[in-house]
Each structure stands twice: as structure tokens, then as C-alpha cells.
Structure 1
Amino acid sequence: MQRTVDTSFFAGSLEASPKAQGILSTLSVWQRRVISRHQLARLDARLLADAGITEAQRNAELRKPFWR
């Protein structure tokens, strides 16, 4: 089950707050990184080769924390 940040819930109250919009934007980026790294972890050797990604590159990406 994937959970997403629904920015529409906050849309009315955040229009006047650029700082809050920036926070939501950052959270959204972090969430996309987590999801894409989970997907990357599930790829088999054939799919990695098709994407042009080596095992070492995948492992390096998977070791990164979500904020990088």
C-alpha cells in the first residue's frame, strides 16, 4: 500500500504561505524518491540491463537516504 501526500487538502490554507508550499514540495520529492527506490530494488538483472543500470549503481542508489 502506498501513501501519498494530498496537497489538495491543504490548498486553501497554503495559498498565502510560500513556506508551507515549500515544505509540501519537499515532502513530495522525498516521497517520489522512496517510491522509485522501492521500484528499483524490485528490478531483476534483465530489467536492470535493459535500463542500463549496473548492480553497483543500483546498490549505491538504494543506500542513499530519502533526503538525498
Structure 2
Amino acid sequence: MKGQKGFVLAHRFAWHGVSLRHLLQRIVRWHELRRERIMLAGMSDEALKDIGLSRADVERETVRPFWDDPMHK
């Protein structure tokens, strides 16, 4: 059928109800979390104080697994 190729390809990559697009979005989000946690760990104590965080808060955040998203995005 004409115009069905995209549907067939999308269906082929679906895995247990998770589309390829959703999986790629999740991987991108995990990468963002990793990058943000690295940046947070590199902030000075003065900068952390400005945003209301302590070094202990940063330590708790940076040891979280990459898939642990506090915003549930």
C-alpha cells in the first residue's frame, strides 16, 4: 500500500510497547542528566550557596544512577 512504509518500519522497531523514538528520547535525557550532574559537581562552593545547595546535596545527586531522573521526563 502506498504510504505504509513508515508505519511498517515504526512497528518493526517497537519493542514491548516502547517505540524507537521513545527509546532515543530516553537515551538523550540520560545523557543530559549525566552532563548536568558533572557540571553540578564542578561548581564552586560559592556558586552552590547561591543556588541553595550544599556540597552534600551535590554528592547525593552525583551518585544517583543515570536512569534515576528526578523530573521523571
TM beyond 0.5? yes
Aligned AA (2:21): Q
- Partner of residue 21, structure 1: 21
What is the TM-score of this pair, normalised by structure 1?
Answer: 0.72
CA distance in 2, matches of 1:27, 1:39: 19
- Partner of residue 3, structure 2: none
Deviation beyond 4 Å, 4+ runs, structure 1: none
Q: Percent identity?
A: 24
- Partner of residue 51, structure 1: 51
CA distance in 2, matches of 1:56, 1:35: 19
In structure 1, runs of 5+ residues without a counterpart are: 1-14
The number of equivalent residue pairs is: 54
CA distance in 2, matches of 1:41, 1:65: 15
1:6-46 CA-partner distances (Å, limit 9, x unpaired)? xxxxxxxxx64260001001001100001001100100100
In structure 2, runs of 5+ residues without a counterpart are: 1-5, 69-73
| Rg comparison, structure with higher value | 2
What is the TM-score of this pair, normalised by structure 2?
Answer: 0.68
CA distance in 2, matches of 1:63, 1:23: 23
**Root-mean-square deviation over aligned CA pairs:** 1.4
